[in-house]
Structure 1
Amino acid sequence: MTEQRIDLGLTSTGTGGCGSGCGCGHAASTPASAAIATDTLRVEGMTCEHCVRAVTEELSALDGVDVVDVELHAGGTSIVRIATTDGADDARLAAAIDEAGYTLVR
């Protein structure tokens, strides 16, 4: 039996849009020129996963917020880490957390 190979065009050519050379052609999620800033917030009043979802949804809805990670400390002060491409205005962050029903600790 003779082996036959067919090129499906799935191998990397280094021209992909994601910047890793994967050849996928999709656009990069973060332009190389964009600076990513991270902030750590302290939030009071969160007690469960519903609270985590509410805060995550409100913060994620803000322009420029790319990542939200919540470390829940039920009944205590939870830690919320965010990554943004344009920085985050403290007033907008506080308003989003308040909208979710919790308090940003300053």
Structure 2
Amino acid sequence: MEGVTADYTVEGMVCQHCASSVTEAITSLGGVRDVTVEVQSGRVSVNSDEALDEVQLAKVLDDIGYEFARSA
């Protein structure tokens, strides 16, 4: 089973530390297999067992100071 890959836009990232924080927060969500972050573009690609709940995703990002902009 390959899982589901979805791309999102996250605003507020400016450095590699930001990327690490975002990766850690998203990985804490159940079923997440892999997270790839591009700081400059704000693009975040997530591979998970099933589609993520975008409300839950927005909350974990907001909790660490970043803004979930939209699915890319």
Structure with greater proportional strand content: 2
**Count of residue pairs the alignment pairs up:** 70
Q: State how 1:1-106 maps to structure 2 within 5 Å.
A: 34=1, 36-73=3-40, 77-106=41-70
Give 5+ residue unaligned stretches, structure 2: none
Identify the structure with bigger relative contact order (alpha carbons < 8 Å, sequence gap 6+): 2
After the TM superposition, list the runs of 4 or more consecutive aligned residues in structure 1 that deviate by more than 2 angstroms: none
Mapped contact 1:35–1:86 kept (Cα < 8 A): no
Q: TM-score when scaled to structure 1?
A: 0.62
SS at match of 2:51: coil
Give 5+ residue unaligned stretches, structure 1: 1-33
Q: TM-score when scaled to structure 2?
A: 0.89
Q: Percent identity?
A: 36
Q: From the CA coordinates, give the structure whose radius of gyration is larger.
A: 1
